[in-house]
Amino acid sequence: MTVVFLSDIPWAGLHQRPQHIVLALAKRWRVLWVEPTTLLKRSYVRPVRVTENVFVMTVPVIPSNHRFKAVEGIARPLGRVPLVRRLFTLVQHALLLGVLKRLEMDPKDIGFVVENFRMMDVVKKFQPGFVLFDYIDNAFGFSRMSEHAENAWQRTVEDSDMIVVTSPALERQVRRVRTGDVFCVGNGVEFKFFAGGGTRERPSDLPPGGPVVGYIGAVSRWLDYDLLRFACGSMEDVRFVFIGPVDTRVRGTVRTLSRLPNVSFLGFRNYQVLPEYLACCDACIIPFLRNELTAAVNPVKLYEYSAQGKPTVVTDFSEDLGAFGDAVSIARTKEEFVSLIRTALGLPAGEGLRARLVDFARRNDWDSKTSVIVNLIQQKLSAQRHAS
């Protein structure tokens, strides 16, 4: 069997949940990762093998939620035209069939893991052994969703054999449409990789001085920049370091914030070196706004921070934060955010909290999370064999 993974991010982007799931699937089946064409990024007209049993291909999509307003301004009206949507589906289907043939993968012996629900019409053109919808972020939280995209989301929820969600908030959302076969499998961490801290050599591009408060992840619209300006301006003796790609829509804000002498935005760094940067942090932050998107977030970065025992201060962005216990310190005001960072920086190195954080991360290793998803698929396939 071949597992076709319909992704809405590039394989070479931030290495997070989707890639970990695919690597787990690839231990049992061949996996074809199907990603959308991205402006200014390499497209794979022919499939490329990126690791053992994992191949990547690219298909054109209608980019209804694009970081460039001009592209989004063109795409949204196009997406409203049924004929255009059908044309894109036909092209996607033809390209997928061509790649399956090239790789000698039987299109009659495939299953789908769907994260890009806008491609569900392509799934309908096959008779897959299973369809698993991995719902990892609130689709309605990024921007106003078009009617046809909302319909695609609802069809995906209704028609998938299984749905996996990353947070209780997403489960509540899905259960308004569907009653059964919804499983909550949160995010995790590659524990040994992060706990080891890499070479523990200080990266050369990390600014000198300290103490260091770190943030690892996308720098986008869901960060609370007013809070960050207050915190960074109030703690001139602390160096704030942000590691992750900067969304074009917030570049002006980031440029203004980076003028503060104790603030550094380092941009995207390869997944393989993240433990080395994290090892140089004395505390970490998750400064999210509280909105429809973040209310359903299960932050991967929290597990990565915890693997190295880094005390973490978060904003009160979700009702589900209580599930993390003392793995986080929750700030409800700007002043409390600063106060909790000061407290985190003052914790003795041997504090019992560090051991609890490491244990929390160990219990949320990606191996345990992805094994649940693999087992769900195996159970579905086994039930089909017994029924036939």
3-state SS string over 356-369? Answer: HHHHHHHHCEHHHH
Nearest CA to 334 out of 349, 315, 354 is that of: 315
- Tell me the mean pLDDT in the region 59-76: 66
d(CA 200, CA 386): 52
Helix (H) or strand (E) holding 34: strand 30-36
Query: Which single residue is written with the structure tokens 């997406």?
Result: 79
- Tell me the mean pLDDT in the region 60-87: 70
Cis preceding-peptide flag for 107 (omega within 30 of 0): no
d(CA 133, CA 164): 6
Confidence of residue 353 (pLDDT cuts 50, 70, 90): confident
In whole angstroms, how far apart are CA 261 and each of 117, 200, 216, 230, 340?
A: 43, 25, 19, 14, 22
Percent of the chain with pLDDT over 90: 76
The answer to whether residue 326 scores a pLDDT higher than 80 is yes
Residues 285 and 213 sit within 8 Å (Cβ to Cβ): yes
Residues 24 and 132 sit within 8 Å (Cβ to Cβ): no
| Confidence (pLDDT) at 179 | 84
Per-residue pLDDT tens for 100-159?
999 999 999 999 999 999 999 999 999 999 999 999 999 888 767 778 888 999 999 999
d(CA 105, CA 99): 8
| Confidence (pLDDT) at 93 | 97
| Confidence (pLDDT) at 347 | 77
- Tell me the mean pLDDT in the region 68-83: 66
d(CA 75, CA 204): 41
Q: Of 140 and 94, which is predicted with more confidence?
A: 94
d(CA 260, CA 255): 10
| Confidence (pLDDT) at 349 | 59
The answer to whether residue 71 scores a pLDDT higher than 60 is no
Listed range (6-10, 84-88, 227-231, 239-243) with the worst mean pLDDT = 84-88
What class has domain 191-363? alpha beta
What class has domain 2-188+366-387? alpha beta
| Confidence (pLDDT) at 350 | 57
- Tell me the mean pLDDT in the region 85-99: 94
Please, what sign has the CA dihedral across residues 83, 88, 92, 94?
A: positive
Residues 131 and 114 sit within 8 Å (Cβ to Cβ): yes
The answer to whether residue 6 scores a pLDDT higher than 70 is yes
Q: Of 147 and 341, which is predicted with more confidence?
A: 341
Listed range (6-15, 278-287, 309-318, 363-372) with the worst mean pLDDT = 6-15
Confidence (pTM) = 0.91
Tokens matching residue 150: 């909302």
d(CA 202, CA 250): 28
| Confidence (pLDDT) at 359 | 95
DSSP output for 219-241: BSTTB-HHHHHHHHHH-TTSEEE
Residues 276 and 197 sit within 8 Å (Cβ to Cβ): yes
Q: Of 223 and 384, which is predicted with more confidence?
A: 223
d(CA 112, CA 120): 10
Residues 44 and 57 sit within 8 Å (Cβ to Cβ): yes
Residues 281 and 235 sit within 8 Å (Cβ to Cβ): no
Q: Is 35 helix (H, G, I), strand (E, B) or coil?
A: strand
How much is the mean pLDDT over the chain?
91
| Confidence (pLDDT) at 352 | 84
Q: Is 157 helix (H, G, I), strand (E, B) or coil?
A: helix
Confidence of residue 209 (pLDDT cuts 50, 70, 90): confident
Count CB-CB contacts under 10 A for residue 204: 5
Confidence of residue 73 (pLDDT cuts 50, 70, 90): low
Question: Could you give the count of Cα atoms lying within 13 Å of 174 in the half-sphere of its Cβ?
Answer: 29
CATH 3.40.50.2000 residue ranges of the chain are 2-188+366-387, 191-363
d(CA 60, CA 92): 7
Helix %, strand %, coil % of the chain (to 5): 45, 20, 40
State the Cα angle at 33 between 81 and 374, rounded to 5°.
115
190 CB contacts (<8 Å, ≥6 apart)?
20, 365, 366
Q: Of 144 and 223, which is predicted with more confidence?
A: 223
Q: Is 255 left (phi over 0), alpha (psi -120 to 50) or beta?
A: alpha
Q: What are phi and psi of 309, to 5 degrees?
A: 70, 25
Per-residue pLDDT tens for 29-50?
999 999 998 765 677 778 999 9
